[in-house]
Amino acid sequence: MGRSIAIELAKVGFDVAVTARTVKEGSGFDISHDGTLRDLPGSVESTAAAVREQGREALAVGMDLADPLSIGLAVGQVLEAWGHVDVLVNNAIYTGKGAQASVVDLSLADLREEIDVDIVAPLTLIKLLVPRMVERGKGTILNVTSGVAYTDPLDMGSYGIGYAVGKAGLFKAAGILAVELGDKGITAYNVHPGFIATERMALHVADQEGLDLTYAAPPEVCGVVAAWLANDPTDSPPRNGTNIESQQFCAERNLLPEWKPAGRYAAPAGGSAGTVAAE
């Protein structure tokens, strides 16, 4: 999703600083909930190259959200190169050991790391970048969220308390930013992707029976919605500080015409899922 968001931002005219812990292709990995390491495709360098293919500038910046020093150095690198940031997208999350653990089984060490990555790290980025946005009178923060932030699990094993608390903690930031800084030109949204066919989700298919990716939306759905929100929308923009259901939002505005929504967002026979609301 991060790659898609970066590319779609470039398509609407943004230069993009791409950050992640995986700088070079082939070195990416996922830590599963039992601690198993699995290879993952994607990298900062390859995504930055995809941004440049859209005719925009890109900065490839290594950043590990579990390392406060790494966060500070990454922000410094971007500001030294460009002087300011117009849009901050907090997309990365902690997915390691403990994310799906029950209250009884969860270790405090894993819980602290989850909270540091999912809450403290993005709030650190907000703290470092939003004051400069206020000085310029303009800025957008998009926090990619999850339904676990505002719903309870259907049963044990749907997700763990660490993951839920991590997402819920950051979920509150958008509304507070809107209230405190909305009159100073700051807009903030939670962006809920819904069920998306990511590379990591494809790995889960091998481990979780019954997970059918044919009903999942492509990552571009989240990308075009993020770009629409970031690109100064003037045609009925959502209320500042609210949660955006990406698949519904994309379908209603027909932001990705080649995507045919499944399930509740599908258009009726002979009808349209929405109209184009942004160039």
Q: Following CA atoms 161, 166, 168, 170 in sequence, which dihedral angle do they give, to the nearest 10 degrees?
A: 180
pLDDT in tens, 31-80: 666 667 776 767 899 999 999 999 999 999 999 999 999 999 999 999 99
In this structure, are residues 75 and 66 in contact, taking their beta carbons and an 8 Å threshold? no
Q: What confidence score (pLDDT) does residue 195 get?
A: 87
Q: Is it the case that residue 205 has pLDDT exceeding 50?
A: yes
Q: What confidence score (pLDDT) does residue 152 get?
A: 83
Q: What confidence score (pLDDT) does residue 27 get?
A: 65
Q: What confidence score (pLDDT) does residue 272 get?
A: 35
Which three-class secondary structure state does DSSP give residue 196?
strand
In this structure, are residues 228 and 246 in contact, taking their beta carbons and an 8 Å threshold? no
pTM of the model: 0.87
Q: Is it the case that residue 239 has pLDDT exceeding 80?
A: yes
Q: Is it the case that residue 201 has pLDDT exceeding 80?
A: no
Q: What confidence score (pLDDT) does residue 196 get?
A: 86
Pairing of β 58-62 and β 16-20: parallel
Q: What confidence score (pLDDT) does residue 96 get?
A: 74
Q: Is it the case that residue 268 has pLDDT exceeding 70?
A: no
Q: Following CA atoms 259, 205, 108, 173 in sequence, which dihedral angle do they give, to the nearest 10 degrees?
A: 0
What's the mean pLDDT in 242-270? 81
Q: What confidence score (pLDDT) does residue 210 get?
A: 60
CA distance 131 to 129: 6
Q: What confidence score (pLDDT) does residue 278 get?
A: 28
How many beta carbons lie within 10 A of that of residue 257, not counting itself? 9
Pairing of β 29-31 and β 37-39: antiparallel
Longest dimension (CA), the chain: 55
Integer distance in angstroms from the first to the last C-alpha of the chain? 22
More confident residue, 97 or 274: 97
Mean pLDDT of the chain: 86
Q: Is it the case that residue 90 has pLDDT exceeding 50?
A: yes
Domains of the chain and any CATH numbers: 25-35+67-265 (3.40.50.720)
How many beta carbons lie within 10 A of that of residue 28, not counting itself? 19
CA distance 34 to 41: 20
More confident residue, 160 or 203: 160
Q: Is it the case that residue 233 has pLDDT exceeding 90?
A: no
pLDDT in tens, 120-129: 999 999 999 9
In this structure, are residues 27 and 20 in contact, taking their beta carbons and an 8 Å threshold? no
More confident residue, 27 or 164: 164
Q: What confidence score (pLDDT) does residue 117 get?
A: 94
User: Closest Cα partner for 106 from 29, 164, 38?
Assistant: 164
Which three-class secondary structure state does DSSP give residue 38?
strand
What does the chain come to in residues?
A: 279
User: Closest Cα partner for 192 from 255, 261, 122, 243?
Assistant: 243
User: Closest Cα partner for 188 from 124, 149, 132, 239?
Assistant: 239
Q: What confidence score (pLDDT) does residue 263 get?
A: 60
Q: Is 124 exposed, middle or buried (0-12, 13-18, 19+ CB in 10 A)?
A: middle
